[in-house]
Structure 1
Amino acid sequence: MPGLFITFEGGDGSGKSTQSALLVEWLQALGHGVVVSREPGGTDVGLELRQLVLHWRGEIAPRAEALIYAADRAHNIATKVRPALERGEIVVQDRYLDSSVAYQGAGRVLGAQEVRDLSLWATDGLLPDLTVLLDLREGSDRLADRTLYDRLEAAGDDFHARVSEAYLELAAAEPERFLVLDARDTIENIASAIRSRVETLLRPAP
């Protein structure tokens, strides 16, 4: 496809929202068409699924949780991301299948390969051109003063440690797709490193 698919990954509190917003602003200033999405919740259907999977007050079985994320992903890719890529636009997205592999595969101990295969089936095999991983080992500590948590944020230190380790294993397995940055670096340094990598992938703006 003529477009470019960029995803942001990392633990809670790693700065994904800040860095993705800065990247979008920079790309638009260069004249590129940019579509912004997130998972879960990048579409109207996704917003309903996001409310369910993150804020349901009762128990959700781990496999059911993984399937909800996959359903959100399938709809997001089919109705929003893939059409934008086919139009030649740049999609910048907060979280994608690597989140499911880390959070459900490792965090919920469902098995990384099984969860990855589910997401690849849901999206007809679509992988990002670039995945920016903001590595913050103590991301859960940055949430210590928060009084409101979603279901994943409140999952505990052992859970988040498994998630962090899984992310690094994913990056090591696909170094050509991942850009791993220390989330404790300055906002400016991180943004500069991201722009430098993205520049190598850009086609001329229309």
Structure 2
Amino acid sequence: MSVKKSATEPNIEEAFKRHSPIAAKVKEEYEKALIDIFADMGPNCLEPFAAILLENENTILNKETLIERVRMRMSQLLPKINENFFVSNDVGKKLITLEVLKEKFEPFKGTNWQVHNLTPEERTRPVRMRLMDSSIRFLQKQINSQEKAIEIAMAKSRENRERIHNIQNERVKLYALMQQQTSYYQDMFPKLMDLSKKMIGAEILD
């Protein structure tokens, strides 16, 4: 029996699709902010470096050329760094998840949970519940392990029962054969005795 979702219950998949543009938007804003940092740089930003270079090496720094090279280099490098950061850390998915969670828990915004008024037992209840859940999972693993051991033992027991049954069948067959041989010997014994007597009598007559 399938359980119908409430009409007011948010659909997580739809929420993810609805908030998916946030990833590209934030990434674009980051790229723009990083580029703007170096776009605003001017030759005066290199004044301290130019002064040190002039003082120590008696060299005049071409600030205009250098700042242009730095700006060009950073404009090429920073988008790659930003792209790697977003991809390697799965930032897009995390941003979408954050927006979905913000939407999901919006009704609880501003709620006073009165944490400071809770008793120690109430405060530690979530931790104890997690520990209990871990204990249940551990016990379940133990039960599963024991069930496997029981299955193996039962399989061996079935094999042993079959082996014992086969041995018993062989014993019954052997016993029947012995009975048959004994009966045959009992039937033949008088005849052999008569034959022996006749042979002895014939020898005496000779």
User: TM-score, normalised to structure 2's length?
Assistant: 0.19
Instruction: Find the structure with the greater CA-based Rg.
Output: 2
Structure with the largest fraction of strand: 1
User: TM-score, normalised to structure 1's length?
Assistant: 0.19
